[in-house]
Amino acid sequence: MATAPSAFKPIAEISPDVASWVASVAAATLPDRIHWCDGSPAETARLRNELIARKELAPLNEKTFPDCHIAYSHPSDVARVEHLTFICSKNKEDAGPNNNWMDPAEAHAKMDALYRGCMKGRTLYVVPYCMGPIDSPYSRCGVEITDSAYVVLNMGIMTRMGRQALERIAAEGGKFVRGLHSIGELDPNRRFIMHFPEELSIQSFGSGYGGNALLGKKCHALRIASYQARTEGWLAEHMLIVGLKNPQGELHYVACAFPSACGKTNLAMLIPPASMPGWEVFTVGDDICWLQIGPDGRLWAINPESGYFGVAPGTSPKTNKNAFDMIRKDTLFTNVALTASNEPWWEGIGAGEPSTDWQRRPYDPKNGPAAHPNARFTVSAVHNPAYTKEAENPKGVPISALVFGGRRREIAPLVYEARDWQHGVLVGASVASETTAAATGAVGVVRRDSMAMKPFCGYNFGDYFQHWLNIGAKLKQPPKIFHVNWFRQGQDGKFLWPGFGDNLRVLEWMLDRVAGRAGAQETAIGNLPRPSDLNLDGLDIAPAVVEELLSVKQDAWRKEVADIRNYLGEYGARTPQAMYAELDSVEKRLG
Ligand code: GTP
Ligand code: SPV
Ligand code: MN
């Protein structure tokens, strides 16, 4: 998409629509200064220095972690807050039981009161950004107004931020998502993350953390975008996008939806096991995927983001060497621990020991883990050794398979294939997973998380399931749909499947199914590989464990089906009948 270069125009004059909105926000919030972000390296350096001077950011060991910094969020502000996140559609029904709802007028009154004068003594940053390649027709732009320099630094890594984005906004006639953010006093009792899908706007107050504050990410690219996507005929999903090239040179892209902290970043940059030589892996995205129906009737995907906001704990050279290597320079760490030599440390890193914990206290195991379980790194995608230029392709990449998955100690087998798109939509809608530290609240509780979008769909899930069915009906070559579970546990509480790089064995079976080469056995819930259909060469795993991983327990699944039926019932008349038809046939096959 051509954008008129205006290098000589003062940045505040590029888009009159943005400028007038900024003026109205400034009149309400009363900042001392207004700074328009141009996205330049000089700007990044200046912001870093300001934060360092205020002791809100600190450089790490310059020799071993050049240009890396650590930031700490408030100890009560370390994760997304689903109970304080609202969809403010005109009709409550349109938000659906999957969301908290507030009347837009009530929400605006509440937020206006919170924002009044909230930026006194602070700088108001104007952050223009583009979600997706700057020249892609599939990309969408937004502007985040924030009083947090930490947010600006993150947005600079996670999005195409600055002058170019503003130029695109101006070229598109001033159509952009308006995101207003203030950290307020970081008081959990004065914290709200409000979404107004019909107004294409977001208002966030009282949190400086991740998905609550980096408004381009979950708020725009999922909650607002999912709403927009429904009206425009595409899909905005919580999916990684990865390219897999087999030793014969065949390249396929797959997109996988797993809930928060359930393995997307890891799968997106996996390293093939030594016993699978010749495979190559290319990361297109690790968290969000926008899917469009291409001119050829296939699904095409872009990653709207340009960086990774990844879970630090568990990242090691053994589990995810690409990620480990990627975060050794130019990386912003949040809520990790530090070693005595000023290097970042977290549980599962596999070396070193913590000296200071994530609350800057001398490390004491009595205080719990050294790094917060939801500690994160922010890093540009180009630092990933598995980065591919295809992440910049304005057309996106064609998708051969969609994969749903959850974190389930029991019931869900290692992998199964849906019979067709419609059955696949039921499989996606039925995803259940144990809650993780990515959101505040209890961890390890199994809940339904349809398409891994429970916290992120900006409208009623019943309508969302129908939208998925509608997309399928329009596809000439729909991708195959699968379900995976890397997290089955044995009696001893240990994971049965080695996971990480070995997950490629499961992906290989999927791609062979796509190519029509791999065998499977039909079961009541879908098609499963027999142990002999999986490439287990060089893997030290007992045959009984493989049997267990690939078993479908009829009794447990009968209960599961009943539970799914209840769940679909929560969406009342909005649940498509086709979903019940699919569920009925699973039930019949279970006998
Ligand atoms: P969000 O960024 O919250 O959306 O998370 P994500 O889905 O990208 O999850 P991520 O890849 O960061 O993994 C979260 C945690 O799960 C990390 O501690 C990983 O080490 C762990 N993990 C990832 N893949 C596997 C796997 O295949 N097996 C096991 N046992 N653990 C895994
Ligand atoms: C998630 O929770 O799914 C994340 C991290 O990817 S956050 O940006 O905080 O939403
Ligand atoms: Mn995520």
Beta bridge partners of 481: 402
Instruction: Give me the mean pLDDT over the 120-147 stretch.
Output: 98
Cβ 498 under 6 angstroms from ligand 1? no
| C-alpha dihedral sign at 431, 437, 440, 446 | positive
Tokens of 77: 């502000």
Return d(Cα 452, Cα 109) in angstroms, integer.
32
Question: Could you give the CA distance from residue 195 to residue 187 in angstroms, rounded to a whole number?
Answer: 20
Q: If DSSP codes are grouped into helix, strand and coil, which group holds residue 195?
A: strand
Q: Which two tokens stand for residue 53?
A: 């001077």
- pLDDT tens-digit profile of 307-363? 999 999 999 999 999 999 999 999 999 999 999 999 999 999 999 999 999 999 999
Mean pLDDT of 382-404: 98
Ligand 1 contact, 495 CB (< 6 A):
yes
Q: Give dist(CA 193, CA 455) in Å, integer.
A: 12
Is residue 569 classed as helix, strand or coil in its secondary structure? helix
Q: What is the mean pLDDT of residues 424-445?
A: 96
Q: Buried b vs exposed e over 174-204: b needs ≥16 C-beta within 10 Å?
A: eebbbbbbbbbebeeeebbbbbbbebbbbbb
- Ligand 3 center to 342 CA (angstroms): 28
The tens digit of pLDDT for each residue in 50-86 reads: 999 999 999 999 999 999 999 999 999 999 999 999 9
- Angle at which helices 577-590 and 554-569 pack, to 10 degrees? 160
Instruction: Give the closest ligand to the alpha carbon of residue 82.
Output: 2
The one-letter code for the residue type at 457 is C
Residue 363 has what DSSP assignment? P
Q: Which two tokens stand for residue 297?
A: 């009737």
Check if 391 has its Cβ closer than 6 Å to any atom of ligand 1: no
pLDDT exceeds cutoff 90 at 6? no
CB distance 564 to ligand 1 below 6 Å: no
Length of the chain: 591
Q: How far is the CA of 319 from the centre of ligand 3 (A)?
A: 19
> Looking at residue 1, what is its pLDDT?
46
Portion of the chain with pLDDT greater than 90, in percent: 98
- Ligand 1 within 6 A of CB of 261: yes
Closest approach atom of ligand 1 to CA 313: 18
517 HSE (CA, 13 A, CB side): 8
Tokens 């370390």 appear where?
78
Q: Is the CB of 174 under 6 A from ligand 1?
A: no
Q: 153-187: per-residue pLDDT in tens?
A: 999 999 999 999 999 999 999 999 999 999 999 99
Atom of ligand 1 nearest to the CA of 315: 20
Residue nearest atom 19 of ligand 1, based on CA coordinates: 314
Per residue in 196-220, pLDDT (tens digit) is 999 999 999 999 999 999 999 999 9
DSSP string, 255-318: EEE--TTSSHHHHHT----TTSTT-EEEEEESS-EEEEE-TTSSEEEE---SEEEEE-TT--TT
Residue 149 has pLDDT above 70, yes or no: yes
Average pLDDT of the segment spanning 287-302: 98
Q: Span 504-521, mean pLDDT? A: 98
Minimum-distance ligand 1 atom for the alpha carbon of 374: 3
Average pLDDT, the chain: 97
The number of helices, as runs of H, and strands, as runs of E, in the chain is 16, 29
Asked if the model's pLDDT at residue 8 lies above 90, the reply is no
Write out the DSSP string of 119-168. Answer: TTTSEEEEEEEEES-TT-TT-EEEEEEES-HHHHHHHHHHSEESHHHHHH
Secondary structure, 3-state, 411-462: CCCCEEECCCHHHHHHHHHCCEEECCCCECCCCCCEEECHHHCCCCCCCCHH
Cα angle value 217/235/209 (rounded, 5°): 15
Q: What is the pLDDT of residue 2?
A: 47
pLDDT at residue 4, rounded to an integer: 53
Ligand 2 pocket mutation pick from 131, 207, 218 by most atoms within 8 angstroms of CB: 218
Hey, whose CA ends up nearest to atom 23 of ligand 1? 263
Would you tell me how many other CB atoms lie within 10 Å of the CB of residue 511? Answer: 20
In whole angstroms, give the CA distance from residue 577 to residue 465.
10
Closest residue (by CA) to atom 8 of ligand 2? 211
* Ligand 2, pocket residues at CB < 6 Å: 80, 210-211, 217-218, 260, 287, 309, 438
Decide which of 325 and 9 is more confident.
325
The percent of residues above 70 in pLDDT, for the chain, comes to: 99
Distance separating alpha carbons of residues 181 and 148, to the nearest angstrom: 8
Angstrom distances, CA of residue 490 to CA of 143, 349, 495, 539, 544: 48, 24, 6, 18, 11
Tell me if 266 CB under 6 Å of ligand 1.
yes
Pair 177, 201: CB distance under 8 Å: yes
With a 6 Å cutoff on the Cβ, whether 499 touches ligand 1 is: yes
Task: Name the residue among 586, 544, 548, 545 with its Cα closest to residue 565.
Answer: 586
Average pLDDT over residues 32-57: 98
Which residues touch 376 (CB under 8 Å, ≥6 apart)? Answer: 210, 309, 310, 311, 312, 333, 334, 335
Residue whose Cα lies nearest atom 9 of ligand 2: it is 211
Q: For residue 401, what are the β-bridge partners?
A: 254, 480
The most distant pair of C-alpha atoms in the chain lies apart, rounded to whole Å, by 72
Which residues belong to the active site? 262
224: enclosing H helix or E strand: none
